[in-house]
Amino acid sequence: MIYRMEGNRLILTLEKPMTLAELFTYFSVSKKQRHLCRMNGSIRCAGKIIRNDDHLLQGEVTIDLSQEQIDWVISDTPSQLVYSSPFLLVVHKPAGCIIHGDADDHTCLNARVAKTCVDQGISCSIRPIHRLDQDTCGLVVYSRHSFFQPWLDEQLAEKKIYRHYQAICFDTGRVSDHFTCNKPIGRDRHVSGRYRISPDGKDACTHFDVLARKNGYVLIGCRLETGRTHQIRVHLSHYGLQIVNDPIYGRPSSDFKYMGLWADSLSCKDPVTHRTIHIQDHIEKDYLYFGKRRK
């Protein structure tokens, strides 16, 4: 689908006719958002407001994306912006930074993204699509408008946002270069905040590839099929692979500054064109230990 932006208006050029209901389905628009679009007259075709689901849309269609306000406390420190489009932002989350903080938390990632939006002249609500553990660094996707959030949420739920990680572990020398763990994960009833392999847990699957070895450490690429809490950390621990500086499942290493888990790249689709976008994070210094490389 071809589009252009004119202020807050999204102007689509339809490749083939579709009904208003089909347009809503294309964007996975929620029932509440559909109602608001009809009430506010947000959809126009040939200059006319369209409210009937069965109305056939042709040619150019205009969607009025009402301007949304930043709804989070603003940090003094901006986030590191990696990718931006009219519909989504992708930022780098540093290790030790949480995504959601308290209402007055100026240090969380949401507050830093709010600062980035102010600096970039972007007026939008702060809507992260997924999370990362506090000690994990790397890429996080944000929706720039409530109209697109249900579609992005659906993409995540259907496992269509592909996330890749790199983990630095103490090398045991006991794993093959390619292996998969599909053990279910549940809470550890004996240790608060810890998770473990459990037959009664939630299904979880991670694919692993050894990328490099050096001086008793191993760099492992990790591809998620599910997104359970602490999934990579628990699955690696199951194989005796401890992530460096992991305060729960690993052990300390003075060779690295942070916990060795980095969400280094992701692939997702543009909410409007549905074309795949590949996004690579800026290099993390700890990973230069293995030389300048990409997955």
Give me the active site residues, please: 133
71 touches 123 (CB < 8 A): no
What 72-75 contacts at long range (C-beta under 8 Å, 24+ apart), as own/partner pairs, is 72/110, 72/111, 72/113, 72/114, 72/126, 73/103, 73/104, 73/105, 73/106, 73/111, 73/114, 74/106, 74/111, 74/114, 74/115, 74/118, 75/106, 75/107, 75/108, 75/111, 75/112, 75/114, 75/115
C-alpha to C-alpha distance for 240 and 227, rounded to whole angstroms: 21
Tokens of 103: 């209402």
Residue 44 Cα distances to 23, 55, 149, 273, angstroms: 12, 11, 21, 19
Do residues 140 and 151 lie in contact, with contact meaning Cβ atoms separated by under 8 Å?
no
Q: What whole-number distance in Å separates Cα of residue 185 and Cα of residue 226? A: 11
Q: Are 183 and 235 in contact (CB under 8 A)?
A: yes
Retrieve residue 83's tokens.
Answer: 């990718």
